[in-house]
Amino acid sequence: MIGADDVRAAARRLDGVAHRTPLVRSRTLDERTGREVVLKAENLQRVGAFKFRGAFNAVASLTDAERARGVVTVSSGNHAQALALAARLHSAPALILMPDDAPDTKVAATRGYGAEIERFDRYAEDREALLAAAVAERGMTPVHAYDDERVMAGQGTVALEVLEDVGEGAALDALVVPIGGGGLISGCATTVKALSPATRVVGVEPEVGDDVRRSLAAGERVRVPVAPTIADGQQLDRPGELTWPVIRERVDAVAVVSDTEIVETMRFLFERVKLVVEPSGACALAAVLAGRPELDDARRVGVVISGGNVGAERFAALVSRPAADADR
């Protein structure tokens, strides 16, 4: 299982490469929640999301020979762009397997970072077989979006920066982190439990895809039906194989939020904080604004704003209309 030393090693690799994203404060937010809230603005990270950290750490951890053969992954989301950029920065080839129905903008952005794209039919083709073929035929190293210890350790640097920047005299009572596959929260929980054990780690999932909450209740990984949610970055059916044991041991609680709460939070971040945040990126703050009981009486709360990649039309539609009308 990864430890704080893996996160520290990742931080050294990322130094001068990733942005040290700011902690953003809002008095309105403090007044509305009755807490002191610091937002870790990973939407301001390279490629617009925390994913750059894990992907870069993974590529940087390869041997020269491995790097020369390149990396491969299956992703239509932020990890695709993150791995493409991480590979380019190491002059390594990258093959990104993207489903046919991935948005053109995401495909173009990923190609823009110099990656080779291979499309596949997500209903007719087996993504694992495509991945295995790239590994067998081209000697590429697979870099999973979350179920990879190098990726998890890289994402843990988010929490490391939060703890360093709030300072020792102002320890957080809780750090609130969105959960997709669990790469971000497993890395962050590892950091927090090692360096600030009194700080609670609270994960947040969309209520229709609460696989981690149910898994914690059951004591084992359970699979939930994949239901549509506006938070497409969190639309996963069960915890990762490697992220799960870390989450079970180091995460204190998991809260859930509705799509309507997520949209209201995106509008709040637009109107009052002036940040562009994608649905998954607003999920953790949505739980804080809604005052979920899993936060307990935490007074000083860190919240990870995990990404800001949302198209102009979609963002405009979401922040312009009353949140109560929001659908997918």
**Catalytic annotation, residues:** 51, 76, 205, 209, 211, 306
Q: Binding its own copies by CB under 8 A: which of 46, 150, 213, 292?
A: 46
Q: Using the rule CB under 8 A, is 36 a contact of its own copies?
A: no
Q: Which of residues 242-271 bind its own copies (CB under 8 A)?
A: 267, 270-271
Secondary structure (3-state) at 80: helix
The residue within the footprint of its own copies, chosen from 2, 37, 48, 251 (CB under 8 A), is 48
Regarding 170 and contact with its own copies (CB under 8 A), the answer is no
Which listed residue (107, 115, 189, 275) binds its own copies by CB under 8 A?
A: 275
**Residue 238 φ/ψ region, left for φ over 0, alpha for ψ in the -120 to 50 degree band, beta for the rest:** beta
User: In this complex, which beta carbon is closest to its own copies, that of residue 97 or of residue 269?
Assistant: 269
Residue 155 structure tokens: 């994402």
| DSSP track, 152-177 | HHHHTHHHHHHHHHH-GGG--SEEEE
Least distance (Å) between residue 21 CB and its own copies = 8
Are 51 and 82 in contact, with CB atoms under 8 Å apart? yes
In angstroms, rounded to a whole number, what is the distance separating the alpha carbons of residues 301 and 35?
7
Q: What x-and-dash track marks residues 303-322 binding its own copies by CB under 8 A?
A: -----x---xx-xxx-xx--
CA distance 162 to 165: 5
Considering the complex, what minimum distance in angstroms separates the CB of residue 277 from its own copies? 7
Beta strands in 42-191 (DSSP E): 71-74, 94-99, 116-120, 141-142, 174-178
Q: Which is nearer to its own copies, 27 or 104 (CB)?
A: 27
Q: Which residues are CB-neighbours of 277 under 8 A, at least 6 positions away? A: 43, 265, 266, 269, 270, 305, 307, 308, 310
27 forms part of the interface with its own copies (CB under 8 A): yes
Supply the minimum distance, in Å, between the C-beta of residue 267 and its own copies.
7
Q: Which stretch binds its own copies (CB under 8 A): 15-23, 154-162, 184-192, 201-209?
A: 15-23
C-beta closer to its own copies: residue 220 or 271: 271
- Is residue 112 classed as helix, strand or coil in its secondary structure? helix
Residues that bind its own copies (CB under 8 A): 19, 22-25, 27, 41, 43-44, 46, 48, 267, 270-277, 308, 312-313, 315-317, 319-320
